[in-house]
Amino acid sequence: MFNLLKTAVLMAAITALFMAIGAMLGGRAGMMLALAIAVAMNFFSYWFSDKLVLRMYNAQEVDESSAPQFYRMVRDLAQRAGLPMPRVYLINEDAPNAFATGRNPDNAAVAATTGILRVLSDRELRGVMAHELAHVKHRDILISTISATMAGAIGMLANFAMFFGGRDGEGRPANPIVGLLVMILAPIAASLIQMAISRAREFEADRGGAEISGDPQALASALQKIHRYAQGMPMEAAERHPETAQMMIMNPLSGGGLKGLFSTHPSTEERVARLLAMR
């Protein structure tokens, strides 16, 4: 119930951002148009954003015949968690990472890069996939997927405001400086909304994943290893779609420019310390 409330708050906050940018672009008429777009985007995000995110990463669905060991691992962990079997995807990407998506446990998907399968031991990989299934069990996946889709849309709308100008509340041309501020501040505001939700969510998924796998040390070891590899191995799809970074088990961005100002993930050191304290 609490996660449903968080989802409603997230959608309302991002809708308000849409309306503010719409008002800058076209006054009252622009605000109402932005409201209509936001409602349509919220509908789309609820039903289709998981498919959009998987397409962004060119994720390929696998089954027991195409990836038997990995598929059976996910199935075993889903049974331990008392969850329906999610759809399982692989992403042909060297950078080690993983995420879960979908609107509820009955329509969930988990995805992992081919790099993470190569880098981690079976025990560590179980810890990572248990973490992703904890997101499914806690119903975090709808929040993260909607926020990724909507944050990307806000970025595009802010760029539109910059390049095409806007109107004030009485229909007069807006100050171009205001357009520049909107272009810079709107994506930052969207990132702050994501941050407010995602950091606590990662700690809870770590704890839940450790309970599902029964092995907090394995997840701690996996996080340390992913952190080391990720330092010099940026994830190309995530760099193209930085709004999806908060869905990953580890921040996949290189940290350059505005992307590095805000982190949607807690520090690896703190996550590891909390996991090791569960022993």
What token pair was written down for 72?
């059976």
Q: What is the dihedral of CA 75, 119, 268, 50, to 10 degrees?
A: -50
| CA-based nearest residue to 87, from 115, 123, 61 | 61
What token pair was written down for 249?
């088990």
> Scanning the structure block, which residue is given the tokens 């503010």?
20
| CA-based nearest residue to 105, from 137, 130, 129 | 137
Instruction: Give 128's contacts (C-beta < 8 A, 6+ positions apart).
Output: 98, 112, 116, 120, 209, 219, 222, 226, 249
What token pair was written down for 83?
């969850």
Give catalytic residue positions. 132
| CA-based nearest residue to 193, from 264, 88, 261, 120 | 264
| Burial letters 11-30, b for 16+ CB under 10 A, else e | bebbbebbbbbbbbbbbeeb
Ranges of beta strands (E only) in 6-143 are 60-62, 87-91, 98-102, 108-113
